[in-house]
Structure 1
Amino acid sequence: MATRGTPEKCLLNRMNLTYDASSVDSSVEEEELSGQAEEDEEDVDDRPAVFICGKCKLPIGDTMSWDGSEDGQNQIRLKQVTDNVVIGKENRLHEVGKRSLCLILDLFCRGCHSVLGMVYASTPKSLDHKRFTFCLNVADIESYVLGSATQKLAADGPKEQPVTLEYRGIVEQQLMEVKMLAMSMGLRMEEIEAGLQEGRDDARQ
């Protein structure tokens, strides 16, 4: 399942850690669980994440190309993206702050054509760090942390559902209908064969 992206790299990898509650109430166990939770969260933060289009779910990049984030604009910056990101051809003016006009090119998703972010074509000197990077809008993307899958089958496989009287009655009814249909088809075949035999006898006479 994809988790929505956030401006901070560490927030992109946040997960809700769930533990089975123990019937023993002990402060020692609470400390152990707390320490384990911190270790697991740090481990999750170190895992790479894949960024996908928030609308059609095509992959557009990953944290291996991470370049930074822009809290004020709710954006993340990547050095590289996949071919699913299309760079627009028309420059337009974009005001980052007071007296900070830039020329940008919009970034589009190849699959659904939705806007994903922008590329800065021209910036004032204070914003030169944004040039030659892909600035993606957090609101338009989602992320999936690799290795975050938790659901698995038990060692003895999926549990079999108990057969209820209601389910058994439905099965028996269906079997009875199949049996009646087979008998009806058998009688019909006998009638057809008898008719064919009469036709042969008439032809001989």
Structure 2
Amino acid sequence: MAVRRCIQRLFQEPQVDGAITFERPGPVLRSWGRPPQEDAVMPRGAEPQREPNSPGGGTLLRRGLRLEECALFHCRGCRAVLGDSLHLCAQEDRFLRVLVCFKVTNDVVLDDSLMVGIEGALLGCAYYALYCRSCGLMVGFSLYSAFASLVHLRGLFCLFKDSILCYLLKTKAIIEASEMNFPALSLKEHLGKLKEQLVGVHVRLELLIKRLEELNQQINVADMQGYASRTVGLKLGFAENKSSN
């Protein structure tokens, strides 16, 4: 039901709440320019990931996730946690240079004003700007309307790679998102894995059902043998009493 509700919200027409503003994109939106370099420190809000052999550290492994595929997305300006790689939902666009997520943290603020791009990659597209709640840095956008080439991104959260730092859970290293390539998501691959899991569950259920049937048969046989032995005992006792009389 939760997945169905997410899909329904995805295809619902967003309501315009605020003013429609035609503006020229700023330096970040126009050229995806990189903000000034900062020293790599431990991201705010990030805690070291426990190793798989530590207590509770195998949670991701039990969920079928590998640590090398997991990363946190942090604001370049203040290290606030904006999202993670588990919520990536679209292939990277080489022109936009954004990370597309279907869910972000509360530190991402959606601006009320609807903007329309007049140049650059978002020319002719209507979008809402995304800002970091902590430092106010513009970290991305959410498309309201777009041409056919970008319509699949409508309603999703697009985070600028040049405004994001990635904290890798496996190595505990901080790497600029612009230097990382996230693998393209394949629905066919996910469906194949889901099918394998369903087949495995079905096989286990069949084995359990077969085992239960065998146990029931054994119980029935034992009951019949006990009933037969009691019947034989009654007949012998009846014969002895009759002969004594």
Structure 2-normalised TM-score?
0.41
- The structure showing larger relative contact order (alpha-carbon pairs under 8 Å, at least 6 residues apart) is 1
Higher strand share: 1
- Between structure 1 and structure 2, the one with the greater Rg is 1
Structure 1-normalised TM-score?
0.48
